[in-house]
Amino acid sequence: MDIAIILIILLAGTFVTFFSGDKYASRVALSFSILTAAYSLFLLLQYHTTGAEYSIQWVASPNLNFSLKLDGLSLLMILLNSILLPVIILTTLPHKVPFEKLLYSLVMFMSFAMTGVFLSSDALLYYVFWEASLIPIYFIIVMWGNGDKSKRRQAAMTFFIYTFAGSLFMMAAIIYMYSKTGSFQLMDFYNADLNTTEQIWVFLGFFFAFAIKIPIFPFHSWQANVYQRAPLIGTLLLGALMSKMGLYSVIRWQLPIAPYALHKFQGIILVLCIIGVIYGAIIALRQSNLKRFFAYASLSHVGFIAAGTYALTFDGLLGAVILILAHGFGIVGLFLSAEIIHRRMNTTQIPEMGGIKGVAPKFTIAFLLMVLASIAIPLSFNFTGEFTIMYGLYQVNIWYVIFIGTSMFLGAFFMLRMYQQVMLGEWTFKGAFKDLTLNEGFIFIILIAVVLFFGIYSKPIVEIVTPALQEILVYINR
């Protein structure tokens, strides 16, 4: 199977969307996103546990190759990206925006870059895709974001500076690895002979880049303001997909390369992750803006995922992958709910809401199901991931489980408290509040179906990703 075709589809979709003009751009982008999702499902049907590789020479000297690798881990990330892409486009499709051809072509290009990150097995190619994903989200925030333009620019610039600075540390680590191996190939990095000092510096170079992107406490200070200022489509790309680039990259690029440094810093990083989980939950309780509330809730959830990756056990890694997928679908439902309220009531302030259940019963049920999934109620997708992560952490130290377990109670408290304030109580809004449209209802059906199905039956995910995680664990434990 030719795994490069999915990149060709997305890149072609970028250009065709732009040149189709504002009148047809949204529908063209949606068509190419559906085609991308269909091809990713084809890759799933054709997939074998051995995976697939694609490589052609890019530059003769130095030896650079356009190298792609598909295994169970990258396949799941591509499925997440490609299936959520049409869903994300659908959230904005019914609403006219200025310069549509530019907006949707940027969305397609960003998906192209993220897919490249998930597939690259050449470090320099990986870095090119990693950096390329920054460009579209910067312009999406500046041109279509919320609030006045100066605040949008400030948020976008803060995000760009933070992530670009982290990327420079990663580039330094990649260049050093090339100096040691004479190659940018992933497997050569895995097999590099590094002494303890070299491992520490390489490990930290990758860590700063990924910790900012995820983000891990205390590298999170850019997140809430950026999520608030970004338009819905930008917030969904950031929260559902771009943060997963960092989590995926920890597993693929950081953990197997420097095992000594990994075990040396494991305790410190796990403490930071757990602090982030609890901190995000506590700060969310103090938010009056619904989008900022969900931003800090997301910080808490991704901290949970990061803790699973740094547990360095099979169950920790498996739980992290499951929760990556669950969080991707769940966060779309939460931010879409916030946007629906904003569009109807023209506010994101929680104290100005209340009583919506009496006028929009369909939305009330859909929003409740997404809230329950986010707090990892049993039989939900999130529950499977969080329970597996906690079991993985238990194999390291029971105290990690005790502390991170408190976040589950905090999460349930702050999410249900928010739902009560927003949806229950008396209806005081002067205008009308329309229930879910056909388009919005269709999106919620997709999200809820995924959350419930894989919460009950996650075996296919486990079977797909297990060989890839076992291979990575061999290098972690060497």
User: 287-344, pLDDT tens digit by residue?
Assistant: 888 988 988 888 888 999 999 999 999 999 999 999 999 999 999 999 999 999 998 8
pLDDT, position 88: 94
Quote the CA–CA distance of 437 and 427 in Å, as a whole number.
Answer: 21
Do residues 128 and 59 make contact, with C-beta atoms less than 8 angstroms apart? Answer: no
Q: Which pTM was predicted?
A: 0.92
Mean pLDDT of the chain: 89
> Helix or strand or coil: residue 3?
coil
Residue whose structure tokens are 């890694």: 317
Average pLDDT over residues 407-418: 84
Q: What pLDDT does residue 127 have? A: 93
At residue 126 the predicted structure's pLDDT band, cuts being 50, 70 and 90, is very high
- Please report whether residue 379 resides in a domain: yes
Q: What is the pLDDT of residues 151-164, one digit of tens each?
A: 888 888 888 888 88
Show the domain range for 446. 264-478
pLDDT given at position 49:
65
447 near 91, Cβ under 8 Å?
no
What's the average model confidence in pLDDT over 10-39?
A: 93
| Residue 434 forms part of a structural domain | yes
Separation of CA 402 from chain center? 26
| Predicted pLDDT of residue 217 | 86
C-alpha atoms less than 13 angstroms from C-alpha of 106 in its C-beta half-sphere: 19
Percent of the chain with pLDDT over 70: 99
Residue 431 lies in a domain: yes
| Count of other CB atoms within 10 angstroms of residue 420 | 11
Q: pLDDT band for position 443 (50/70/90)?
A: very high
- Please give the tally of structural domains in the chain: 1
pLDDT over threshold 80, residue 138: yes
Residue 8 lies in a domain: no
**In 286-397, which residue ranges form alpha helices assigned H by DSSP?**
290-310, 314-345, 361-374, 381-394
* pLDDT surpassing 80 at residue 208: yes
The answer to whether residue 127 is domain-embedded is no
172-206 pLDDT, tens digit per residue, is: 999 999 988 888 888 989 988 888 899 999 999 99
Helices marked H in 47-95 — which ranges? Answer: 72-92
Instruction: Determine contact, residues 252/209, Cβ cutoff 8 Å.
Output: no
Domain membership flag for residue 475: yes
- What's the distance, CA 152 to chain centroid? 22
The answer on pLDDT for 403 being more than 90 is no
Q: Which residue has the higher pLDDT, 285 or 147?
A: 285
Choose the most confident range, by mean pLDDT, from 54-68, 372-386, 407-421. Answer: 372-386
* Mean pLDDT confidence for 99-128: 94
pLDDT in tens, 62-92: 777 888 999 999 999 999 999 999 999 999 8
The one-letter code for the residue type at 256 is P
Residue 224's pLDDT is: 81
- At 447 the pLDDT is 94
Phi/psi at 191 (5° precision): -95, 10
Portion of the chain with pLDDT greater than 90, in percent = 52
Query: Are the CB atoms for 282 and 222 separated by under 8 Å?
Result: no
User: CA-to-CA distance for 246 and 320, rounded, in angstroms?
Assistant: 12
CB 152, CB 145: distance < 8 Å: yes
Does 103 map to a domain?
no
* CA dihedral of residues 354, 281, 223, 233 (deg, nearest 10): -40
Contacts with 305 (C-beta within 8 Å, 6 or more apart), sequence order: 214, 247, 320, 323, 324, 327, 385, 389
Mean per-residue pLDDT, 437-453: 93
- Helix (H) / strand (E) element for 120: namely none
Q: What is the pLDDT of residue 50?
A: 61
Does residue 73 belong to any structural domain of this protein? Answer: no
pLDDT of res. 477: 84
* CB 112 within 8 Å of CB 119: no
The model's pLDDT over 220-268, given as tens digits with 9 standing for 90+, comes to 888 888 888 889 898 899 888 888 999 999 999 999 998 888 888 999 9
pLDDT for residue 1 is more than 70: no
Which of 53-57, 123-127, 402-406, 432-436 has the weakest average pLDDT?
53-57
- pLDDT of res. 85: 95
Which class for 248: exposed (0-12), middle (13-18), buried (19 or more C-beta within 10 A)?
buried
